[in-house]
Amino acid sequence: RGGTGPLDGAVLTMVDLKGRALPMRVSVSTREDLGDRLHVVEASWASYEEGVSARRIQLKLNEHGTVTSVIPGTPCSLFGFDPEELTGLPIWSFLDLGTEETSVSRTTDSLKKSFAT
């Protein structure tokens, strides 16, 4: 057996016949059987929170709204870039906070209040 069990696999969202999302933890392994290569897919139910968490970038910001670090675990393939590239950028450079100049001020004020508590 050349893989991990489904409990260690990625959380993928499958869709049932009614279009409902079904988060599943999926693992794929490969093995040889009588000279044939077999790919074995194992799946187990995952919670909604596990499904959402697997598609999330967690950032640490300073009081000015600048990304100081990225919490490890976000795969590069999720958003099409390495999340570490966000380090050093102000959050409003990649997150739409509105077009008003005051949105930057409101966000900065909100961050300062959260750091004060």
Residues 79-99: tens digit of each pLDDT: 778 888 999 999 888 887 665
Domain extents in the chain: 6-53, 59-116
pLDDT in tens, 3-39: 455 566 777 888 889 998 888 888 888 889 899 999 8
56: its two tokens: 């999330």
The residue with greater pLDDT, 62 or 77, is 62
78: its two tokens: 């999720």
CB atoms within 10 A of CB 3: 16
111: its two tokens: 């961050």
**How high is the pLDDT of residue 3?**
47
Q: How far is CA 113 from CA 32, 62, 67, 109, 117, in A?
A: 59, 12, 17, 6, 7
**How high is the pLDDT of residue 69?**
92
Three-state DSSP state, 113: helix
